[in-house]
Amino acid sequence: MRGRLSTTTLTIAALAALTACGDADQEQPAAGGEPAATTAATPDDRDDDLEVSLVDATGAQVGTVSLDEDDDALEIEVAVDGLDPGFHGFHVHAVGRCEPASPDPSDPAKIGDFLSAGGHLGADAGDHGEHAGDLPPLLVDASGSAELTVTTDALTLADLTDDDGSAVMVHAGRDNLAHVPERYAPDGPDEATRKTGDAGDRVACGVVGG
């Protein structure tokens, strides 16, 4: 599998450091005694930090995805609410279009929610599990909520915000990562499994660029 994935946690020490930075950016008196103007950067001002809304097929927001690029790695932080409990496939798809009841760009006769986003980003590089857009499954608890933070060096913000953009996607079912033991399928997983991991319908989508 190309790339490196790991989960991360924001520590109390990191929060303290952020607070200290905020204090340092406070306005300082100028020579004449009046406060001097400052232009402290905020995360929303940085071009290496994006926040994306996840919506369901009705257009209702069900979560957010934050993308922060630093030190040659991309941190992806997702928070959702109102989904069915259990594991859900979570991927980056190749086209920045989240349209309900839309055609699949590679097969216009096929219509479904968010099919406009195309397949997984990097799907031409190999089978599912080797795509740049493949991410760990999202585990939704009994309340319908989930949070996940992943760091990957298989993607950059430039990849996600190219001419046709990209989309973050939550699926209805669990992702088997195209792992089907030979005792179940002597000939190996079928083409659909190798493309998608059998994660099922697309239930939430967020446009990153495009």
Residue-wise pLDDT tens digits, 123-178: 777 766 676 788 999 999 999 999 999 999 999 999 999 999 999 999 999 987 76
Is residue 29 included in any domain, yes or no?
no
Is residue 7 included in any domain, yes or no?
no
Bridge partners (DSSP) of residue 149 are 77
Is residue 188 included in any domain, yes or no?
yes
The H or E element that residue 48 is part of is none
pLDDT band of 207, cuts 50, 70, 90: very high
Q: What is the mean pLDDT of the chain?
A: 78
What are the DSSP E strand ranges found in the chain? 5-7, 49-55, 61-70, 73-80, 86-88, 90-93, 102-104, 107-112, 138-140, 146-152, 166-171, 202-209
Q: Which amino acid is at 149?
A: T
Among 142, 137, 136, which residue's Cα sits nearest to residue 88? 137
Q: How far is CA 210 from the centre of its chain?
A: 15
Is residue 19 included in any domain, yes or no?
no
Among 29, 45, 31, 141, which residue's Cα sits nearest to residue 84? 141
pLDDT of residue 34: 39
Tokens matching residue 137: 């499954």
Residue-wise pLDDT tens digits, 23-66: 444 444 334 443 333 233 333 444 578 999 999 999 999 999 99
pLDDT-above-70 percentage for the chain: 72
Is residue 33 included in any domain, yes or no?
no
Looking at the whole model, is its pTM more than 0.75?
no
| CATH number of residue 109's parent domain | 2.60.40.200
Residues in Cβ contact with 143 at an 8 Å cutoff, skipping those fewer than 6 apart: 81
Is residue 162 included in any domain, yes or no?
yes
Is residue 127 included in any domain, yes or no?
yes
Whether the CA torsion 43, 73, 65, 14 is positive or negative: it is negative
Q: Which amino acid is at 5?
A: L
Is residue 156 included in any domain, yes or no?
yes
**How many domains is the chain built from?**
1
> Which residues span the domain enclosing 134?
46-209
**pLDDT greater than 70 at residue 79:** yes
pLDDT band of 16, cuts 50, 70, 90: very low
Alpha-carbon gap, residue 121 to 125, rounded angstroms: 9
